[in-house]
Structure 1
């Protein structure tokens, strides 16, 4: 079986990209072929080994024309804009009865900006749609997608942590800061990172050695660095940029808490990873956080976030709710769905009249 996956691929280490990488590893381990065509910017510029990063739309279409895949699986997340509509259309054009869609976006479940009629038409063309949570599933049903074409499957979480050498500057920060707070995500407005920085400034009075490590990159990097300098917090807040996933996991495992203050969100993989590693999580309430997450109101504000962190640090660590769950079965469910679709395609081909 040959699966073509369209979506982001590491690096950088985003949640959707890690999920796709995990699916690809699993398929190859099970002796299936898996090709990935990146639909977002990829810093490695993959062009071999079954992972390709087109430089432009023409190269993307050239790769699509060459594909011999049995199933095409498109992953989307973020805002549903004209670019996403185009990807949906291309996937349907080349996939026909063999196209699968996974919707990771938290905004998809709350946005009112969709072109309803056009989106409804596109979604109905997919043979199967995977929603990462029930909220997205409900929106799909309201858009007219039949329930039997929808599956709710949470993202796959890596069930182990590989120990590697951590850069000296990161370990120096970790060793100097206690308690240590880690935040993983994009440096974009919807992550409300300024509120995290403001909370650290308030907590310094109680925890003079506290530290916040922000892992990720984005358009607000220069602004956030300037803000940190302006508030004289260079010793307390460190922006690392994108890190290899194994190092990100080690930072999460060393943290006293992981923060996720998004204004909208899907089923964030970093949250599930933190819970698996035994690290408490404080996150804005999006109505779909996994069991064990300490939630605060959305959008986050400095007072509520500071209060939640302070309350957590005052608790006995043995009473902090953390749920360990590998979710290994989730990726096996995806493989079983591929096999189900593959079998349907084979049955259809056998029934087709010979010309």
Structure 2
């Protein structure tokens, strides 16, 4: 069985890119021949990861994989026209020997499709060429089915592989932040208003009344932008921020593991990888109530800074607690084998050793 993953690959370290990276490593560790067509900004060199230089280059490489009979698995947000053009292109290219799967990742997808009948029609046509549509949440599945996609073709699997959550070494600035902040709260940052930066800053100011040494560590893009600096100053929290910029994913997990609470104050969301990572690490997670959250998440009323501060205080009082985690790896491997017409036992991955590299999937053990 040969599987081609099509999607973003780190860096940058967005949720889709991380999932593609981890799924690629998982499949390779299970003895599956797996490659990635990186349609993002061209991440770091990695085994069997092929950056796409242009639309023509993408079409040429895709045609080659199709003619060779590779199974294709597209990973995309589904909340913008470019995403659906990609879905339609991959789903519509000739290649009868190749089964196709697509995962739709974004929590913004339901609103995007609901806004226009033309969008829903385009989505239905774009998805017609896929044997399975993987939705990361029930809300995403419901939106896709409402477009006219047969319900039996759509499955729900959170884009999360708990087996790949492995904190790595952190920069010295992380240890310094941990030493001077009590408590230390962490948050994945993005310049989009959807991520709730201003709300987090307002709640941080409220928390400082009870916790004089509280700090908020932010990692991700956009923390050096003028509007970020302006918001921090205007909301009176500049001195309480630990601004870490973009971190390698393993370092971000290391930061998260050292923190007292992880925040997810988004205004819209899908099935957030970072929320599940925090819970898997035993870190209390506080997230907005804009969507269904995994068991163990403490939710607050969206856009309510006082409620956010209240729930963070409760989470700090309760302390750490590891929560059960899902792992989409075995589920997707089973799906691939079914579509390839292979026996079910072919989906039983061997037990991976602790020295498996999550970036390359390389391990010292052979498949059992």
1:304 alignment counterpart = 307
* Structure-1 separation of matches of 2:78 and 2:267: 12
* Structure-1 separation of matches of 2:70 and 2:228: 45
Asked if 2 retains the 8 angstrom alpha-carbon contact of 1:282 and 1:309, the reply is yes
Q: TM-score, normalised by structure 2?
A: 0.84
Q: 1:181 and 2:185 equivalent?
A: yes
The Cα of 1:185 is off from its aligned counterpart by: 4.2
1:135 alignment counterpart = 139
After superposition, what is the alpha-carbon deviation per residue over 1:2-49, rounded to whole angstroms, capped at 9, x for unaligned? Answer: 1111111112222221211121112112222111111222343x4x62
Change (3 A) 1:218 1:292: same
Residue 314 of structure 2 aligns to a residue in which SS?
helix
1:51 alignment counterpart = 49
The Cα of 1:125 is off from its aligned counterpart by: 2.4
Instruction: Count residues in correspondence.
Output: 335
Q: How does 1:257-276 map to 2 (within 5 A)?
A: 257-276=261-280
Change (3 A) 1:38 1:231: same
The Cα of 1:150 is off from its aligned counterpart by: 1.2
Q: TM-score, normalised by structure 1?
A: 0.87
Residue 129 of structure 1 aligns to a residue in which SS?
strand
The Cα of 1:66 is off from its aligned counterpart by: 2.5
After superposition, what is the alpha-carbon deviation per residue over 1:193-218, rounded to whole angstroms, capped at 9, x for unaligned? Answer: 11111211222222110000111114
* Structure-1 separation of matches of 2:104 and 2:260: 31
* Structure-1 separation of matches of 2:167 and 2:144: 40
Q: 1:92 and 2:94 equivalent?
A: no
Asked if 1 retains the 8 angstrom alpha-carbon contact of 2:261 and 2:283, the reply is yes
Residue 102 of structure 2 aligns to a residue in which SS?
strand
Change (3 A) 1:302 1:129: same
The Cα of 1:162 is off from its aligned counterpart by: 4.4
1:334 paired residue among 308, 321, 332: 332
1:73 alignment counterpart = 73
* Structure-1 separation of matches of 2:224 and 2:6: 27
Q: What's the RMSD between the two structures over aligned residues? A: 2.2
Residue 286 of structure 1 aligns to a residue in which SS?
coil
Asked if 2 retains the 8 angstrom alpha-carbon contact of 1:179 and 1:210, the reply is yes
Q: How does 1:1-355 map to 2 (within 5 A)?
A: 1-44=1-44, 46=45, 49-67=47-65, 68-77=68-77, 79-81=79-81, 83-94=82-93, 98-111=99-112, 112-114=114-116, 115-159=119-163, 162=166, 164-218=168-222, 221-231=225-235, 233-298=237-302, 300-313=303-316, 315-317=317-319, 322-328=321-327, 330-343=328-341
Q: Which moved more, 1:186-195 or 1:218-227?
A: 218-227
Residue 130 of structure 1 aligns to a residue in which SS?
strand
* Structure-1 separation of matches of 2:224 and 2:83: 23
* Structure-1 separation of matches of 2:111 and 2:122: 18
* Structure-1 separation of matches of 2:144 and 2:299: 26
Residue 41 of structure 1 aligns to a residue in which SS?
coil
The Cα of 1:157 is off from its aligned counterpart by: 3.0
- Alignment gaps of 5+ in structure 1: 345-355
After superposition, what is the alpha-carbon deviation per residue over 1:253-296, rounded to whole angstroms, capped at 9, x for unaligned? Answer: 11111110111111111111111111111111133200111112
Residue 49 of structure 1 aligns to a residue in which SS?
coil
Asked if 1 retains the 8 angstrom alpha-carbon contact of 2:91 and 2:127, the reply is no
After superposition, what is the alpha-carbon deviation per residue over 1:317-340, rounded to whole angstroms, capped at 9, x for unaligned? Answer: 3xx7x4522423x21110111111
* Structure-2 separation of matches of 1:174 and 1:213: 9
After superposition, what is the alpha-carbon deviation per residue over 1:98-137, rounded to whole angstroms, capped at 9, x for unaligned? Answer: 1111011101123323412121121222111011111111
* Structure-1 separation of matches of 2:4 and 2:85: 17
Residue 110 of structure 1 aligns to a residue in which SS?
helix
* Structure-2 separation of matches of 1:218 and 1:128: 35
